Amino acid sequence: MIELKEEAVFNAKAVLVCPRFTPSADPIRQEETAALCRTMGLDVIAVLDAPLKVPKAATYIGSGKVEQLAALADETGCAIAVFDCDLSPTMQLNLEQATGLCIIDRQEVIIQIFADRARTREARIQVDLARLKYSLPRLSRKWTSLSQTRGGVRGGKGAGEKQLELDRRYVESRIRSLQRELDKVKRQRSVQRGSRMGGDIPKIALVGYTNSGKSSLLNALCGSDVLAQDKLFATLDPVTRRLGLPDSSVALLTDTVGFVRDLPHQLIDSFRSTLEEAALADVLLLICDATHPDVLLCFETAIGVLEELGCKDRKTIVVINKMDALTPEREGRLGILEARASQITPVPVQKISVLTGFGLKALRNCISQVIRSPLSESEQGPCLQSL
């Protein structure tokens, strides 16, 4: 019986390699990837900027940069290099052979974070599936002790290098069996959901970029104590609580997994059942973080994922959180966000601060109003009918 390995690499030093195709670097993306690395337990102590016209077939960044990477890692004592892009299995292998480093790409970082966070059976199966799908084309790679963490497999004989012994067919059959198990758990959850949500209680889902304050808002609105942390992907499993509304009616509020740009497709596939909570909701609360340096991109990423989930026609309230921490220079961008939000939904943007309680009363009123409002033109159009 194979078990997937869980532990992360803690405080290992890493070089962050940032390929870029535009003349200027993208500091926000770089910071986000560095934050993902920190969440995974890596300490980014050096950054290698790699301007490119097109990715090079063998190593993505080209031989000159590969040499620079090896030298930088040597100088700074790093054994790991994280690439802020997606690498093919061959590129990863070539880079590992050329530098002697453990080469990790952005997808792998995100999958590892999910693996560290997964607690429930469903989340674990989903992450295991994503890791196996990621490792399948990489089975021939050289597995070092560090690389045990990446989709690593622990059998009776030990870990790491035993990965090599896993034959593709075995992994494929494992993927199929996990998929069956996931379908079963998903069916059970939908039965539970059916009994829990029986009747006409309206369902609301909190959706949005990771770290925007979804769990904090659930706690503030429902008086619950769901884990809220200044970490990416603190929430992996949907959590549902009862929400009392000003008109004395009740709704069910569900917290969901956060989004991030370039979410690995294996994770989207694997977490589809969790994300379906959003697709099943009557109303979506799309939370944005007013203090995020690229709040518009976060918003567009969330809209993109919701579209992919078939939620375009859902009644949507755009909520801008963390207004307490808004700096004057970031205030201007909120106007652009509001204009963009008005193309998605006619419901006015709700500005709030979970921390201070600002705007929460107005948000509750808005939620009751939206629940009572008629559906958009039979859910045909992308937008909710004007209130």
213 binds, among ligand GTP, Mg ion, none (CB under 5 to 8 A by kind): ligand GTP
Shortest distance (Å) from residue 253 CB to ligand GTP: 13
Counting contacts by CB under 6 A, is residue 322 touching ligand GTP? yes
Q: Which is nearer to ligand GTP, 58 or 326 (CB)?
A: 326
Pairing relation of β-strands 315-321 and 283-289?
parallel
Please state, as a whole number, how many other Cβ atoms lie within 10 Å of the Cβ of residue 121. 13
The per-type count for the chain, helices as H runs and strands as E runs, is 12, 12
> What are 102's strand-pairing partners?
80
Q: Does 113 bind Mg ion (CB under 5 A)?
A: no
Q: Minimum distance between the CB of residue 273 and Mg ion, rounded to whole angstroms?
A: 18
Q: Please name the residue that has the structure tokens 């709700």.
A: 350
Shortest approach of ligand GTP to residue 356 CB, angstroms?
7
Beta bridge partners of 51: 20
Q: In whole angstroms, what is the distance from residue 205 CA to residue 275 CA?
A: 10
Q: Which residues contact 71 (CB under 8 A, 6 or more apart)?
A: none
Among 59, 92, 163, 215, binds Mg ion (CB under 5 A): 215
258 binds ligand GTP (CB under 6 A): yes
> Residue 323 CB, nearest distance to ligand GTP (Å)?
7
Which is closer to Mg ion, CB of 235 or CB of 376? 235
Sequence-separated contacts (24+) of 373-382 with Cβ below 8 Å: 373/315, 375/315, 376/313, 376/315, 379/313, 380/313, 381/313, 382/312, 382/313, 382/344
CB of 363 to Mg ion, least distance (A): 17
Q: Over the Cα atoms of the chain, what is R_g? A: 22
> Does 353 engage in binding with ligand GTP (CB under 6 A)?
yes
Q: Which residue in the set 230, 328, 332, 335 belongs to the binding site for ligand GTP (CB under 6 A)?
A: 230
Residue 256: which of 222, 280, 291 has the closest Cα? 280
Q: Which CB sits closer to ligand GTP, 313 or 324? A: 324
- Residue 234 as a binder of ligand GTP (CB under 6 A): the answer is yes
Give the separation between CA 103 and CA 146, rounded to whole angstroms. 10
Residue 235 binds to Mg ion (criterion: CB under 5 A): yes
Residue numbers 331-350 binding ligand GTP by CB under 6 A: none
Structure tokens at 93: 């292998």
**Residue nearest Mg ion, CB atom distance:** 235
Asked if 232 is part of the footprint of ligand GTP (rule: CB under 6 A), the reply reads: yes
Taking the complex as a whole, the smallest distance from the CB of residue 342 to ligand GTP amounts, in Å, to 23
How many CA atoms, within 13 angstroms, populate the side-chain half-sphere of residue 4? 26
To Mg ion, the closest distance from the beta carbon of 205 in angstroms equals 13
DSSP string covering 1-58: --EE--PPPPSEEEEEEEEE-SSS--HHHHHHHHHHHHHHTEEEEEEEEEE-SS-BTT
- Whether residue 18 contacts residue 48, with contact meaning beta carbons closer than 8 Å, is answered with yes
> Which partner from the list ligand GTP, Mg ion, none does 321 bind, CB cut-off 5 to 8 Å by kind?
ligand GTP
**Residue 353 binds which one of ligand GTP, Mg ion, none, with CB within 5 to 8 A depending on kind?**
ligand GTP
Residues, the chain:
387
The size of the interface with ligand GTP (CB under 6 A), counted in residues, is 22
Choose from ligand GTP, Mg ion, none: what does 376 bind? Cβ within 5-8 Å by kind.
none
Q: What is the DSSP letter of 167?
A: -
Q: How far is the CB of 208 from ligand GTP (least distance, A)?
A: 6
Q: Side chain identity at 380, as an amino acid letter?
A: Q
Q: Is residue 234 at the binding interface for Mg ion, with CB under 5 A as the rule?
A: yes
Report the nearest approach of ligand GTP to the CB of residue 36 (Å). 11
User: DSSP secondary-structure letter at 36?
Assistant: H
| Piece of 133-141, 149-157, 176-184, 229-237 that binds Mg ion (CB under 5 A) | 229-237
In the complex, which residues of this chain contact Mg ion (CB under 5 A)? 214-215, 234-235
In the complex, which residues of this chain contact ligand GTP (CB under 6 A)? 210-216, 228-230, 232-235, 258, 321-322, 324-325, 353-355
